[in-house]
Chains A and B, each alone.
Chain A
C-alpha cells in the first residue's frame, strides 16, 4: 500500500518568507509526528498528533513554527518568517500508537 508522502520534496525560499510543508500519512494511522534533521545533526522531534489534536508540541523551536492536522489525515507544518537556521530536512512519520513508525522521504528546506 501507499507509504507516507511529503510535499514538496525540495523547497528553496528567501529569508523572511513563510513556507508550508505537507504530510500525507498512511491511511488509518492515528499518530503522526514531525521531526527535523539539520545538516550533520541528529533527528529532532518537533510535534506529535493523535488524531487532530497535538498533545506534545514541545519540540517546536519557536512561535514561528506551527502545525495542524485534519482529522486523521493530512498535516501541514508552517514556518513563518523563515530564518537560515530553519534550513533542514523535515521528516514526517505515522503509526498506529506505540507501534513502528513509518517515515516519509522528507522535505529539504533551504533558506537563502
Chain B
C-alpha cells in the first residue's frame, strides 16, 4: 500500500526566498507523481505531473524532481511571492490514475 509523506508540515518564508518542499513515498513502483496547490475553500490546482520515466518537470518558477529509487520528490519554488501562499500536496499515481496524497505543506509567504 502506497504511503506518501510531506515535510515540512508548515513553512513560513519572506517574499523572494527560494524554497524546497519535500515528498516521500513508500512504493517505488509509482507510475507518476503530481504536485497540486490547494487554496482555502477551493479545489485542487494541478501544478506539475512527472511520469515515472522522467526526472523533473518545470513550469515557470516551479521545478519538480522525481527520484524513484530513493522514493522522493521535491518541489522547488523560486523567488517566492505572497500569492504562492497555499497548501501544497503531492500525490503518487497508479497506472490508471488512482492518487495517494500526502498530508500537505502549508506555505505562507509574507511580504
Contacts and interface: CB of A to CB of B under 8 A. Distances in A.
Q: Do A and B come from one complex?
A: yes
Interface string B93-111: 1011111111110000000
B44 interface: yes
A11 B28 CA distance: 39
Interface residues of A, number: 26
Given A42-B103, A98-B32, A91 B97 contact: no
Given A42-B104, A98-B32, A100-B34, A91 B96 contact: no
A87 interface: no
Given A42-B103, A43-B89, A100-B34, A48 B98 contact: yes
Nearest to B6: A42
B96 A98 contact: yes
**How many B residues touch the partner, as a band?**
20 to 34
A105 B31 CA distance: 26
Interface in A68-108: 91, 93, 95, 97-106
A105 B98 contact: no
Contacts of B102: 42
Interface SS of chain B: strand
Contacts of B61: none
A26 interface: no
B101 to A, nearest CB: 4
Interface of B: 31-32, 34, 36, 42-46, 49, 89, 91, 93, 95-104
B96 A105 contact: no
Contact of A45 (B42, B43, B45, B98): B98
Contact of B97 (A4, A41, A48, A103): A48
A103 B31 CA distance: 19
A100 B46 contact: yes
A56 B46 contact: no
B43 A104 contact: yes
A102 B46 contact: yes
